[in-house]
Amino acid sequence: MKKFLIVLVILVLAVAAVGFLGPTEYAIAKSVKIDAEPGAVHEYVGELRKWPEWSPWEELDPSIVTTYGDKTTGVGAYQSWTGEDGGGELTFTRCDPESGIAYDMAFIMEDDKIPATSAMDYKQVDGGTEVTWTMNGDWDGAVPAIMAGWMKILSPWMIGGPFDQGLENLKARVEAKN
């Protein structure tokens, strides 16, 4: 029994150490090749009202309710959302039919805003467009300190998986139209 308790204490300390001392900054990047020109991709990516046609988030949380700003395309386009898994907001900082979009966003959990930057970049390649969806942020201060290091470890799964799903949805939607 004594050995079991020692192992248990060591395990608890190791879990806490990763949470407290692990890196908290994350960077996610996922790509897909779409058989279409950048402009055809941009029709769906550059207009926030078209995001529900391909975005993975509504599939993952059907309770999401999206509110759009006065502007839904171009620099300054804005949307916010709420759902049972939380809420957030984003604002386009770049919106170019040839190179893609960039946006500042924040996940909203209770009264806390967790900022991140994100982009969907287009690169013309043989036979189509490579679309790369990225997100960068830092969990430090956004979650309890004991969880911050673990959130970085979990980010590729929590964000990367839905990015893959969204890119595949986008590919299917754009290629079906062309």
Region of residue 68 (phi > 0: left; psi between -120 and 50: alpha; otherwise: beta)? beta
d(CA 48, CA 30): 20
Contact between residue 72 and residue 91 where contact means Cβ atoms under 8 Å apart: no
Domain span at residue 130 reads 2-177
One digit per residue, pLDDT tens: the chain, 178 residues?
777 666 555 665 555 555 555 667 789 999 999 999 999 999 999 999 999 999 999 898 999 999 999 999 999 999 999 998 789 999 999 999 999 999 999 988 777 788 999 999 999 999 899 999 999 988 776 666 666 666 667 777 788 999 999 999 999 999 998 7
d(CA 41, CA 78): 19
Q: What is the CATH number of the domain that holds 154?
A: 3.30.530.20
How many domains does one find in the chain? Answer: 1
Angle at alpha carbon of residue 16, lines to 144 and 88, rounded to 5°: 25
The whole-model pTM stands at 0.85
